[in-house]
Structure 1
């Protein structure tokens, strides 16, 4: 999360030159406080507290940038690609290309708004 903050701070001066500046943070639904506390959620029983906390922190980082940059017409959001078949998940999950769609939509302006946490279905509670 600190790396995402440092990189964002370094890139903001460059991104400010855009007529439609955007930042998209890749997070995870396991960082959702709402889903962590909801017994009907698939993330309710998930352990890995440090990972979950880091993703919750990523969402707070996004919210802070969204609030700070809102006056300058920035769009700052976070998204979850959901479980993707990568080395991190040991090949479990879906094709990473599917998970990348929401990040691309947020980055290109296909999804409007700022300060949201998104998955392929739409805005989700964090």
Structure 2
């Protein structure tokens, strides 16, 4: 049975990703900053008939929490097949290049960028033990610098500076990570779940959580012939599914 760790999985897209991977037969370690909320989420999934799931306390802003989670998971399994770096924050709004306090940038980068790096580095040894390891970095269509420079793009006016910069940085990290692991069985990709109606955006997005999670699951389940180092986005590129960086 394949195993997956999903950060920020106690609600929304992370939670639905857990549900869909459970439906595919994966054993899910549901990462949550608040263990009680994680256990509540696990309880809901078990009430739906899914038994192969348990909560793992992990705060991606805390090295100590990440290391503790690595120790707990390492005591349960010898290998990890999939890591979904899903935890993220938007930061306070509005966000402009000249008026947003630098502390907002630091807060957003801590979770969306440095947190991903810290979690990936902490769990890479378990992932290396998998015959087909997968890393999925949940990004945003707003992380595309190419499209942000195109006045014809439908989201051209949406420029929350700290959030955009953090996701662009995450995309850059994904490219380099995939390159570093290019001669291995790893598949490392960034996935834009689309503009989805969640708490994250006060339910303003037109997309649904199940559809968003399905995009993440697709990348998590890539076969050996699947691509690596890609920026998947059905929203930005409905014809090809590959967004410009």
TM-score category, normalised to shorter length: over 0.9
Q: More relative contact order in 1 or in 2 (CA 8 Å, sep 6+)?
A: 1
Query: Partners in 1 of 2:159 and 2:145 — Cα distance?
Result: 13
Q: State the Cα distance separating 1:73 from its structure 2 match.
A: 2.3
Give structure 2 stretches of 5+ with no counterpart. 1-112
Counterpart residue number, 1:65: 177
Q: Deviations over 1:3-38 (max 9, x none)?
A: 011001111100111111110000001110111001
Query: Partners in 1 of 2:209 and 2:232 — Cα distance?
Result: 16
Q: What are the within-5 Å matches in structure 2 for residues 84-99 of structure 1? A: 84-93=196-205, 94-99=207-212
Q: State the Cα distance separating 1:71 from its structure 2 match.
A: 1.0
Secondary structure in 1 aligned to 2:189? strand
1:100 aligns with 2:213: yes
In the alignment of these two chains, the number of paired residues is: 126
Q: State the Cα distance separating 1:43 from its structure 2 match.
A: 2.3
Q: State the Cα distance separating 1:47 from its structure 2 match.
A: 2.1
Structure number, greater radius of gyration: 2
Give structure 1 stretches of 5+ with no counterpart. none
Q: What are the within-5 Å matches in structure 2 for residues 1-126 of structure 1? A: 1-93=113-205, 94-109=207-222, 112-120=226-234, 121=238, 122-126=241-245
TM-score, structure 2 normalization: 0.50
Query: Partners in 2 of 1:96 and 1:32 — Cα distance?
Result: 21
Query: Partners in 2 of 1:66 and 1:43 — Cα distance?
Result: 27
